[in-house]
Amino acid sequence: MNRPGVEQAAILLLTLGEQDAAQVLRHLGAKDVQRVGQAMAQLTGVSREEVSQVLGRFSTRVEQQTSVGVNSDDYVRKVMNEALGTERAGGVIDRILRGRSSRGLEAVKWMEPKAIAGMLRNEHPQVIAIVLSYLEAEQAAQVLGALPQEIQPDVILRVATLDGVQPAALNELDEALEKQFTGKSLSKSSGFGGPKAAAEILNLVGVAPEGRIIEEIAKTHADLSQKLQDLMFVFDDLISIDDRGMQELLREIPGDKLIIALKATTEEMKTKFFKNMSERASQMLKDDLEAKGPVKLSEVEAAQKEILLTARRMSDEGKVQLGGKGGEEYV
């Protein structure tokens, strides 16, 4: 992460919540308050990965500088749970605490997806599943797409049925990866993987591979296949967003991407977008859709994926609520 220190401080304060951030700012000088406040106001495009890195670095510094027994792991857990909610915070916390000592696995996160796929191509599908579970869903989806098609369903099946990894096994994997880079092993493991992780990867792998993988899994694990489909969130599921949330989303979607994304969706979905725009903007969008010539399906899928990523980011920020296909879960 190349953000300057003041922006990292701003990210940290934004994760604390209003009251705790205010308490911290009271201990800063006027000039520092102005600098940090300006950075907070101008922050854009902060990924969950960057938040994880900032909090991980903060946790490490607290451990190094304190002599009064501050349990920084507990502090990070409390802060993340407060900022993101228990369910969302779990995976981020695991990555923070594992990442401080898991250098082999951590190094993989900075590689290009194709390079990761090349490295894993001849590994056992269970090893691949563990590595994909460690990565962010978007990166894992790109890695999965670059793997041979014949092993993709098996890998996703193993991600979906993964229920934690024993410390010794995770150490062994970390050390094996470490030999290809540099670093040491990890002493503390945690649970990751599972149906939700597999669904998040499938959400981002693309419509064609997604359907093929689900179909293949259904041949031997029908119940799991259905569960994955229930957990997945696709473009047309955006119709579940309330009107206020849709209006927020529209403010962050580029107009050209929306036109392409709506070229291959239902009339009901189009109406959902139209009714949350001004009359003039709605009419312009309708005219642009009529005037737009044929668009490649791959371009439509790419535009819809970009909008979905924006929606998920806004969901993480608490700006919109995304209802799952079953209508019971929020992600």
CATH number of the domain where residue 243 is located = 1.10.220.30
Q: What pLDDT is stored for residue 99 in this prediction?
A: 46
Which has the closest alpha carbon to 57: 12, 10, 4? 12
Q: Residue for token digits 């903007």?
A: 281
Number of domains in the chain: 3
Q: Are residues 165 and 262 in the same domain?
A: no
55: DSSP letter: H
At residue 27, the 3 state secondary structure works out as coil
Q: Are residues 22 and 121 in the same domain?
A: no
Q: Are residues 95 and 112 in the same domain?
A: no
**Torsion angle (degrees, nearest 10) of CA 49, 78, 38, 254:** 40
Query: Where is the domain boundary, 69, 99, 129?
Result: 99
Q: Are residues 138 and 82 in the same domain?
A: no
Contact 16, 83 (CB under 8 A): yes
Q: What pLDDT is stored for residue 68 in this prediction?
A: 44
Domain that holds residue 273: 235-316
Residue 323 belongs to some domain of the structure: no
Helix then strand count (H, E) for the chain reads 20, 0
pLDDT tens readout for residues 82-128: 655 555 555 555 555 544 444 566 667 767 888 888 888 888 888 88
Q: Are residues 109 and 227 in the same domain?
A: yes
Contact 315, 321 (CB under 8 A): yes
Give the gyration radius of the chain's Cα atoms. Answer: 22
Q: Are residues 9 and 34 in the same domain?
A: yes
Which has the closest alpha carbon to 330: 319, 315, 309? 315
Q: Are residues 175 and 266 in the same domain?
A: no
Task: In whole angstroms, give the CA distance from residue 264 to residue 225.
Answer: 25
Q: What pLDDT is stored for residue 297 in this prediction?
A: 85
Query: Where is the domain boundary, 99, 126, 146?
Result: 99
Task: In whole angstroms, give the CA distance from residue 98 to residue 164.
Answer: 13
Query: Where is the domain boundary, 99, 124, 158?
Result: 99
Q: Are residues 73 and 107 in the same domain?
A: no
Q: What pLDDT is stored for residue 105 in this prediction?
A: 66
Task: In whole angstroms, give the CA distance from residue 241 to residue 247.
Answer: 10
Residue 326 belongs to some domain of the structure: no
Q: Are residues 155 and 115 in the same domain?
A: yes
Over the chain (331 residues), the average pLDDT of each successive run of 10 is 77 76 72 75 76 78 54 58 57 53 63 84 86 84 91 91 71 66 39 75 76 88 84 81 91 90 89 92 90 86 85 80 48 34
Q: Are residues 123 and 198 in the same domain?
A: yes
Residue 29 belongs to some domain of the structure: yes
Q: Are residues 87 and 185 in the same domain?
A: no
Residue 14 belongs to some domain of the structure: yes
Q: Are residues 156 and 90 in the same domain?
A: no
Residue 79 belongs to some domain of the structure: yes
Residue 331 belongs to some domain of the structure: no
Q: What pLDDT is stored for residue 172 in this prediction?
A: 67
Average pLDDT, the chain: 76
Residue 141 belongs to some domain of the structure: yes
Q: What pLDDT is stored for residue 62 in this prediction?
A: 64
CA distances from 61 to 56, 90, 223 (A): 9, 22, 46
Which has the closest alpha carbon to 261: 310, 228, 208? 310
Residue 25 belongs to some domain of the structure: yes
